[in-house]
Structures are given as structure tokens and as C-alpha cells.
Chains A and B, each alone.
Chain A
Amino acid sequence: MRRLLRAKDRMDAASHEAWPVQRLARVSGVSEAHFARSFKQAFGIPPHRYLLTRRIERATALLRDTDLSITEIAFQTGWESLGTFGRTFRDITGESPGTIRTRGRAAANGLDLVPACFVSAAHRPDLTIAVSEKRRLGAGDINRPHEKEVV
């Protein structure tokens, strides 16, 4: 478990980098199959999806706190194209990066007493279903209950 946390810490420290399962498994010193299964079991979310939540969290913070362009933020947070970033961001948060930027700035008062990383963590998306699933739900099936995917 402590080894799994090490892999998670490494993703946290460098969420802009690519983290294929074999790299994570190497950090943890376990096989790939074992890693993917035990990560999901321990943290309730597959490793790749966890990485997406950290990237979106970081992008949201950059949108709120910096004047970087959305393109720069997309590249800094690890996406290879602006299109993928924009689409994934909307799929996960339900809003465009531009909207989040405007609202985040309007609401950014009173948080200066809370250490920055905890503020940021509070805005981490709660990605309980796969992004593709979320996309599909948004497209149709209005009354379909949210189901947790089984991996």
C-alpha cells in the first residue's frame, strides 16, 4: 500500500508527464497487472483517471490564478493538443476552461488563509465514472442513473 502511494505521489509531483501503467508499476516495484488492479482497489479510481483529475485540478488553479493563455495551460498540464484538453475539460467539469476562469476569479476571495494545495485539492474533480461514459451520458439517456463502472 505504501508503495502504491509512492506511485501516486510521483503522479502528483509531475502530473504533466505521461504516466503509462508500466512506468507506475516500476515506481511501485510490482507487475503492471497487479499495479492497475491494486491502485483501483486502494484509491477507488483507475490510475489514468486519477491523473486526469490532477491535471484538471492544476489547470483550474492556473486558470484562476495566472494570466497564461488556455493553450499554454493545456501544454503545461500535460496535454498534447488544445482540442483534447478543451474536450476533456468540458467532459469532466461540464464547463469550458474560459467559463471556469471567469468564475474562479470572481470567487477567489477569502481563501488566502487556507494553504494553497488544500484549496486546489478541494476543486479536484470527483471523477467517479469514466470520461467516455460521462460523455455518453451527456449525449442521451437523460434519466439513466449514474452507475459506477466495473473494472
Chain B
Amino acid sequence: MSQGVEVVGLYVQDQDEALAFYVEKLGFVVHTDVRNGDYRWLTVQHPDQPSFQLGLFVPGPPVLDAATAQALRALVAKGAMPPLVLTVDDCRAAYDRLLGRGVEFTQVPEDRYGSVDASFRDPSGNGWKMIQARR
């Protein structure tokens, strides 16, 4: 596949903290980590999904002015960012694994509508829904 969505970015409070979370806790791998002065382009990938990158970006200069950046940080911290969904083969097993690594879950796995789902947040406050793929 050569066409499609390649990168979708998240705003995070701190890129080092986000990197540690997505790589060490969720098991993602780094795709690109490039700096230019204070700016850092950082993307990670799900190991099973080589055509898609999740960007971990800090709102701030030079792209955004200080007031806008601060407003965005506050929005992220209060969990106001749009939904994120992670698909897994086995929600309960993934929950146990991630909980053991210290992931902050906001909802334990629940059976619903023929599937199982749980919720967690990244250290910045971005909320993820983790849903078991229907077979």
C-alpha cells in the first residue's frame, strides 16, 4: 500500500516521558526521532502496523505561540483530546500485562456487545480505549 494516512499526532506534555510510555509500556517502536533546535519530530509505531506512525508532539514554539501551547497542554491534561482506540487480540491478557508495567487504567476490562474493552491514559492524559478484536 502506498497511499493512505501515514502519521497522526498526539499532543503530549513531555516527549521523553511519552516515548518511555509508548515504547516500554505499550511495546511500540520508535520510527523517527529527529531534532532541529528545540523542535523534535518524534513518531512511534505499533509493531504490527508498519504503515502507520503515531506522532508524539509537544505543543509549543516555533509552531505555536506560548499562550496557545499552554491552552493545549491544559486541554490534554484534562482529557479533552479526541478518542483513541487500540485493537488487541485478548483484552484481559493485555490489561494484565500493561497493568503489571504500571499503566494507569481508568476502566477494567468489561464484556460488552460481544467484545471486551478497557480504558487507560497515557502519562499526559490522552485517553485510550483498548478493544478486543471481534473474531
1/0 per residue, CB under 8 A from B, across A56-91: the answer is 000000000000000000000000000000000000
Query: Can you name 11 extra interface pairs (CB under 8 A) apart from A2-B125, A115-B129, A117-B117?
Result: A1-B74, A1-B77, A1-B78, A1-B125, A5-B79, A9-B121, A13-B106, A13-B108, A42-B78, A115-B131, A116-B113
Residue pair B78, A117 in contact (C-beta under 8 Å): no
Tally of chain A residues near chain B (CB < 8 A): 15
Complex interface: chain A residues within 8 A of B131 (CB): 115
B119 within 8 A of A: yes
Binding site for B on A (CB under 8 A): 1-2, 4-5, 8-9, 12-13, 42-43, 112, 115-118
Residue pair B117, A2 in contact (C-beta under 8 Å): no
A1 to B74, CA, bound (A): 7
Complex interface: chain B residues within 8 A of A118 (CB): 83, 129
A115 to B87, CA, bound (A): 11
1/0 per residue, CB under 8 A from A, across B117-131: the answer is 101010011000101
Mark out the residues of chain B between 89 and 135 whose CB falls within 8 Å of any chain A CB in the assembled complex.
106-108, 112-113, 117, 119, 121, 124-125, 129, 131
A2 to B104, CA, bound (A): 12
Residue pair B79, A117 in contact (C-beta under 8 Å): no
Q: At the interface, is chain B mostly helix, strand, loop or mixed?
A: strand
Residue pair A12, B106 in contact (C-beta under 8 Å): yes
> Which chain A residue lies CB-closest to B79?
A5
Residue pair B78, A43 in contact (C-beta under 8 Å): yes
B129 vs chain A, min Cβ distance (A): 6
> Which chain B residue lies CB-closest to A118?
B83
Q: Top 4 closest A-B pairs, CB basis?
A: A1-B77, A9-B106, A2-B77, A5-B79
Binding site for A on B (CB under 8 A): 74, 77-79, 83, 85, 106-108, 112-113, 117, 119, 121, 124-125, 129, 131
Complex interface: chain A residues within 8 A of B106 (CB): 9, 12-13
Complex interface: chain A residues within 8 A of B129 (CB): 115, 117-118
Complex interface: chain A residues within 8 A of B125 (CB): 1-2, 5
Residue pair A12, B107 in contact (C-beta under 8 Å): yes
B70 vs chain A, min Cβ distance (A): 11
Given A13-B106, A117-B129, A112 contacting B113 (CB threshold 8 A): yes
Complex interface: chain B residues within 8 A of A13 (CB): 106-108
> Which chain B residue lies CB-closest to A111?
B113
